[in-house]
Structure 1
Amino acid sequence: MKWMKSAAALGAAVMLTMSLAACSGGNADETVTAALEKVKNAPSVNAVVEVTAEYASEDQSLSVTNRLNLTSFQDPLKIKAEVVLDMASGEDTYSQTITMYAQKDGEDLVQYATDGSYWAKQTTTQEVLDTYNAGNTLATYLSGASGFKKNGTDTVNDAQAVKYTGSISGKPLVDILESNGYLDSISSMSEDQQTKIRTNLESMPAAEVAVWVDQEGYLVKMELDMLKVINNMEANIDETLGHPSTATDEASSELLGSVIRMTCSDFGAATDFEIPAEALEAEDATQAAQSDGSTQDTGADQNSQAAGA
């Protein structure tokens, strides 16, 4: 079996809004972009990012869910993130949770993380903490997405939201595959092979992406079905390497579904929290690494990697 890393009632108001947009020639791409900007500029937000995959073979099935529960405040900067990995195959299950906090401490940005057994603490960079920004995460998935059209309404976060569907293709789609670990299988190949594969992947068929915008103009949900994308990716790679998959290979292992989903809520009213005392009192792994001249792989590092998966 192939294993993949893994690691949100408008009522009459909706009708009025849609009518006004139609009369004014409103552009759905611009609506989605504006909704994304509102998320990025929100003083605080609660968000959930979930990547799921279902596999089947002749004698077993496997489900994998990688979920990030996120609460973030912009000023002052304060972040809480819980990364949960759940796997199930028949009666066998596996679960791992890493909890991370971050804040600005004087001039430093500090991360605190635990896997439930001990706390790790280290200074970090804004680039790392940007991976825990809901708006930035949405922007990563929606980079290059276009051609949005209204496609009805749904209930998200217990309220009505307008659904828009668009598409992603070319390099932006390949970047999503790369950032989520779907291209890890080619990492051991030569640079020339990897470049050729990535270039050829840009010709894959476009992937459909759906977003939902609430009555306040916030982008409250994003969903990207990865099943066709992954199947196209694997076929494209096999063709590039000159050895297409055989029927026997396909019968032995099958990807039944894979979805990337993100929901955002509580804009400007996220759940407040305090960083636990045991986290604040943890040994500074940055200083320890500097004192012995080594680089330690702390829980905070592992958490950053999991969140990007």
Structure 2
Amino acid sequence: MYKRKHLSSMFLALLVFAVMWILYGWNYWNGDREGYEAYYYSRDTLASWGGEVGYGFLNIFASGTGLPYQAFQVLISLVTLLLVLRYILKTTISPFASILVYAVFFFSLDFVLMRNFLAFAIFLQGILVLYEGKQLCKIKYALIILLAATIHQSSLMFMVFIFIPINRTIDIGRFIILFFVFLCFYVLARYSLPLPDSIARHFNYYDTSLKSSLANVFMHLVSTVLITLVVLAERKSLYKLDNFSARDRELSFVLSLNLLSLFFLVLYFESEIFIRLFRSVLFFNMLHCINSFFLLRRTYLFLVLYILFFAIYLIFFFLVPVAGFSVFPLFNYNLLLN
């Protein structure tokens, strides 16, 4: 029975994947489309792409063969979505529920952020390597992150997850000490050393305010506390186990990932763009909570709270404000549907 359910879930997940590919690959206008297309035809040297030479090489190679931009987008969308699908199939109990949650709450903005989306999909492959915990996994993870950074430089921020311990949970006491040492060092360095001009100019594109920065910090902290309660509601302690089961490893990994993500908090005071890092953390947490529903637990309260609270947050903070450039074009500007 479970096997049949699993196979049906995979089949439905593939249907959702096909729909997303059609919507993304054959979309011909969105908030960032014109910029990407202009770069495709005008930036013909790797030097013109700065540090993001990986994405630059893909553009130069494809345009050099005479491939139209729309065909290039079809191919990039296929590769990107296949990488996301691979992650979901390998890590989730219900691939259909997982990809459906992704499609509803994340996809309609991701497809607009083409470079960031591809880089994130590559980053997911690094998380797979890190989670499996095999030999040289951390070196492989670092190399994958460096590859993702050649597509979008913000991927370098994910290098912090290389400190996720294998087959054990982060020691909370040591983490708190390390975190506050980091905060002190960051504040001293930030206010004694000026930012490089190139980084400062980029940050100015995405201005921020103290109010929005504090709001982002607050939401990130709420997420961390809630996901910790989700984990502890299933396992009262992850420190007294002699042998981790596969599920214990997953719980430990999720908890460690969220704790290490707290290092992103300082970035919210630098630029509004760094809220995308928190959105990536929400991707892992939402999928974890959705799939936890398929397991027997003492309580489902914190799962429900997390999903409802951050589903609303994702919709009204990320989707609604830019719906005219993302959600609506996804359906209204498609070569196959229109």
Shorter chain as normaliser: what TM range?
under 0.3
Which one has the bigger strand percentage? 1
Give the TM-score taking structure 2 as reference length. 0.26
Which one has the bigger helix percentage? 2
